[in-house]
Amino acid sequence: MNIAIVGSGLVGQAWAIVFARGGHRVKMWDGDPSAVGQAARLIEKQVSDLRAAGLIEDAAGLISRISGCASLEEVMSGADYVQESLPERLEMKKEIFARMDALAPPTTILASSTSSIPASAFTEDLAGRARCLIAHPVNPPYLVPVVEICGAPWTDAKVIQQTWDVMEGVGQKPVKIHRELKGFVLNRLQGALLREAFRLVEQGYVDAEGLDVTVREGLGLRWSFMGPFETIDLNAPEGLADYARRFNDMYQTIATEQTSTEPWSEAVIEKLEAQRRSILPKEKLLERRLWRDRRLMALAAHKKSAE
Amino acid sequence: MNIAIVGSGLVGQAWAIVFARGGHRVKMWDGDPSAVGQAARLIEKQVSDLRAAGLIEDAAGLISRISGCASLEEVMSGADYVQESLPERLEMKKEIFARMDALAPPTTILASSTSSIPASAFTEDLAGRARCLIAHPVNPPYLVPVVEICGAPWTDAKVIQQTWDVMEGVGQKPVKIHRELKGFVLNRLQGALLREAFRLVEQGYVDAEGLDVTVREGLGLRWSFMGPFETIDLNAPEGLADYARRFNDMYQTIATEQTSTEPWSEAVIEKLEAQRRSILPKEKLLERRLWRDRRLMALAAHKKSAE
C-alpha cells in the first residue's frame, strides 16, 4: 500500500515508522521544506531505539521504505491512504483538506490525526467529504497502539472500515467512535479520572505521589492488559451485570461528590506542581521522558510476549 | 515480626502469603474452625503458582512460616501486628475489634482490610482506639501491591507510620489517606472513570470492547508504571503546571458533560452485559480469571525487572 504522510513533525514521523514497520511504502511531506530532512534523521534515531528494544528486526528495510517529497502533489501521487498531522488549527485543516481532496482520486482515504477538531468542522464543503475522517493516535503510536477512528456524519461507513483495516494491518489497535464528541473517548476517560484526582489532592485526602502509587501499583496494572469493563466483568462471580448490580449504589454514592465542573484551581495546580518538583526537579523532566519511553518499549515487548 | 491474620478467607490467605514472603512469622485464625485448614491448602496452591511464575524462590520456607491457630487468644498471643479480614459487616467489625483490643498489649497494631467501613465506625469506644486503622489491600495483594492506609480521627500518627513501614518492608506499596472518605482513593478513581465509560456506551459513542481497547492499548499502558500525575507531568514541556494550564479549558468543557449522578441504568447494564457475553461466554469467566492472574504475575515480574 502507498501511504502519504502530510506534516512531518513528531506525530507525522511516528506515523511514518508505524506504516513502514507494517510493510507499506511511505512518502512524507511538510509545508516547511527543511522539515522533511530533519524528520528523516529523527526517524532513524527512533528506529534505532526500537531495534535496540527488540521491537523491530529489520531497521534498514523499514527506513528504506520511507522517502521524502518536495511538494504536496508529489506526496499525494499514487497514495492509497493519507495521514495528515499538521498543527491543531482549524484554518490549516480546512486548507489542507481542500487541497488534498482536489488532488486525490476518489478512492484515496484522507485521515487527520487531530485530537481536538471534529472532521465535520473541516470537511463539510468538500466534494470528497465521504472519504474524510479522523484517525487519532496517542503519541508515540509505535509504542502506544490505540487509534481512535471517528468520521463526520457524512463519512462513508466503508471508509471507516477500511481505515480500521489499515490500522489493524499495521499492528495498531483501532477503536470505532460511532458519533463525534469532544475529546473522543481516551481524553474523556482521562479527564474524568484526573478531575477526581485533582479534587482528592485539593481537599487534602491524598498527596500526588500517593495517588500515583494507587494507580501504578493498583488500578493501572489490570487496565494495562484488560480494560475497565473486562476488569469488572471478572470481579464478580456472574460477570459484569452482577458487578454492576452489586456496586451500583456504592458508586452512585461516590458520584454525588464527584460532580464539580470547576476548572482546576490555581491553588491545586501549584500544590501539585510543588509536590511533583520535589520528586522530580524541572531539569530532570527530559531525562525522565526518555525513561518513560524506554519503559513503554519494555512494556510493549512484555505485552507482546504475554499474549 | 509476629503477624496475626484474623479471618482466613481469600483476603486473609493472600495477606498470610504477603507477610510470610516478607520473612515474618504468620499465625492465622478464623471463626469457622474448618476454615484455617482449608486456607492452608489454598495458600500452598497459590505459593506454588507464584514459584512457577518466578516471583518467589523459597516456597517451602515461606509456607513453613505460616501456622494455624484454634482460638483468637492463641493467634493474638505475641502478635506485633494484626490484619483483620472478616466479612464487610459493621457488627462483626465492632465485635472482633473489641475482642482484639481487650486481648492485645497496647503496642500491637490492629489493622482492618475493610474496603467500605471507616475505622471510626467500629473503633470509637475502644480503650486502644489510637492503634486501630484501615490497611485496605487490592485482591490479591501478593500481585497487586497497593495498600490504602487510613486512620480514624483518633488514630495515632505513629501507628499510621509504623503500618506504612510494615507494608513497605514486605514489598507492598502503601499510600497514606489523610482523612476518612467513602471508597478511599482507588475506588473513587475507578468510579469516576467507570461512570464516564458507562455513559459513553449508553449514549452510543463507543462499544464495550472499543472502550476497553482505548484503555488497555492506550491510557492503561502509562498508568501501569507511572500514575496519572506523573503522566501529565511528562506530557508538557515544563511539567504538570504547564500541562494543567494548557488543558484546563478542554477538560473543563468535557467535565460539564460528565456530571451525571444517576445510577447505572438497567438498559446500559444489559447492553454491556450482552456485549461482554458475546466476547466471553459466562461459562468461560473462571478460565479468564485464571488468565488474568497469570497476566498479573507476568506483569509483576516484568515491572520488577524493568525498575
Chain A CB contacts of B209 under 8 Å are 227, 229
Lowest mean pLDDT among A4-18, B92-106, B235-249: B235-249
Q: Which residue of A has its CA nearest to B141?
A: A218
At which residue does the C-alpha cell 478512492 appear?
A: A107
In angstroms, what separates the C-alpha of B145 from chain A's closest C-alpha? 6
What is the per-residue pLDDT for B103?
97
Per-residue pLDDT tens for B82-104?
A: 999 999 999 999 999 999 999 99
- Number of Cβ pairs < 8 A linking chain A and chain B: 366
Per-residue pLDDT tens for B40-84?
A: 999 999 999 999 888 899 999 999 999 999 999 999 999 999 999
Checking if the pLDDT of A262 tops 90, the result is: no
CB B272 within 8 A of CB A236: no
The whole-angstrom separation of Cα B23 and Cα B304 is 19
A3 beta partners: A26, A81
In angstroms, what separates the C-alpha of A93 from chain B's closest C-alpha? 19
CB A18 within 8 A of CB A266: no
Q: Does the beta-carbon distance from A212 to B226 stay under 8 Å?
A: yes
The whole-angstrom separation of Cα A151 and Cα A159 is 9
What cell numbers appear for A216 in the block?
501504578
Question: What is the H or E stretch that residue B146 is in?
Answer: strand B146-151
Mean of all residue pLDDT scores within chain B? 95
Q: What is the mean pLDDT of residues B251-270?
A: 89
Chain A CB contacts of B190 under 8 Å are 219, 228
Q: Which of A12, A182, A139 is nearest to A86 (CA)?
A: A12
What cell numbers appear for B66 in the block?
505460616
In angstroms, what separates the C-alpha of A51 from chain B's closest C-alpha? 18
Instruction: Work out the angle between the directed axes of helices B240-255 and A186-202 (0-180°, nearest 10).
Output: 110
CB A247 within 8 A of CB B115: no
Q: Does the beta-carbon distance from B206 to A116 stay under 8 Å?
A: no
Per-residue pLDDT tens for A157-208?
A: 999 999 999 999 999 999 999 999 989 999 999 999 999 999 999 999 999 9
CB B80 within 8 A of CB B96: no
Distances (CA, A) of B72 to A26, B26, B28, B69, B75: 71, 14, 9, 8, 5
Neighbours of A203 (CB within 10 A): 13
The whole-angstrom separation of Cα B261 and Cα A258 is 8
Burial of B297 (0-12, 13-18, 19+ CB in 10 A): buried
Confidence label for A304 from pLDDT (cuts 50, 70 and 90): confident
The whole-angstrom separation of Cα B95 and Cα B82 is 15
Chain A CB contacts of B276 under 8 Å are 229-230, 233, 239-240
A111 beta partners: A83, A133
Pairing of the two strands A2-6 and A66-68: unpaired
Q: Does the beta-carbon distance from A224 to B228 stay under 8 Å?
A: no
At which residue does the C-alpha cell 473489641 appear?
A: B98
- The one-letter amino acid at B18: V
What is the per-residue pLDDT for A265?
93
Distances (CA, A) of B196 to A191, A206, A263, B45: 9, 23, 18, 38
Checking if the pLDDT of B305 tops 90, the result is: no
Secondary structure class of A110 (helix, strand, coil): strand
Which residues have CB under 8 Å from A31's CB, separation 6+?
A7, A86
Per-residue pLDDT tens for A56-87?
A: 999 999 999 999 999 999 999 999 999 999 99
Mean of all residue pLDDT scores within chain A? 95
Q: Does the beta-carbon distance from A272 to B229 stay under 8 Å?
A: yes
Q: Does the beta-carbon distance from A206 to B248 stay under 8 Å?
A: no
ipTM of the complex in this document: 0.95
Q: What is the mean pLDDT of residues A82-100?
A: 97
Q: What sign for the dihedral angle of Cα A2, A3, A8, A9?
A: negative
In angstroms, what separates the C-alpha of A55 from chain B's closest C-alpha? 16
Q: Does the beta-carbon distance from A263 to B240 stay under 8 Å?
A: no
What is the per-residue pLDDT for B256?
86
Alpha carbons within 13 A on the beta-carbon side of A16? 33
What is the per-residue pLDDT for A307?
80
Q: What is the mean pLDDT of residues A286-291?
A: 92
Q: Which of B187, B263, B285 lies nearest to residue A252, judging by beta carbons? A: B263
Confidence label for B260 from pLDDT (cuts 50, 70 and 90): confident
Confidence label for A16 from pLDDT (cuts 50, 70 and 90): very high
Checking if the pLDDT of A259 tops 90, the result is: no
Q: What is the mean pLDDT of residues B282-298?
A: 92
The whole-angstrom separation of Cα B197 and Cα A86 is 30
Q: Does the beta-carbon distance from A264 to B251 stay under 8 Å?
A: yes
Q: Which of A146, A258, A299 lies nearest to residue B218, judging by beta carbons? A: A146
Q: What is the mean pLDDT of residues A266-290?
A: 94
Q: Which of B195, B217, B227 lies nearest to residue A192, judging by beta carbons? A: B195
Q: Which of B178, B233, B150 is nearest to A202 (CA)?
A: B178
Q: Which residue of B has its CA nearest to A206?
A: B177
Neighbours of A176 (CB within 10 A): 20
Q: Does the beta-carbon distance from A182 to B270 stay under 8 Å?
A: no
What is the per-residue pLDDT for B157?
98
Domains of chain A listed by start with CATH number: 2-177 (3.40.50.720), 186-306 (1.10.1040.10)
CB B171 within 8 A of CB B202: no
Per-residue pLDDT tens for B142-193?
A: 999 999 999 999 999 999 999 999 999 999 999 999 999 989 999 999 999 9
CB B208 within 8 A of CB A204: no
Q: Which of B186, B216, B255 lies nearest to residue A227, judging by beta carbons? A: B216
Pairing of the two strands B109-112 and B81-84: parallel
The whole-angstrom separation of Cα A1 and Cα B177 is 54
Chain A CB contacts of B306 under 8 Å are 295, 298-299, 302
Chain A CB contacts of B233 under 8 Å are 276, 280, 285
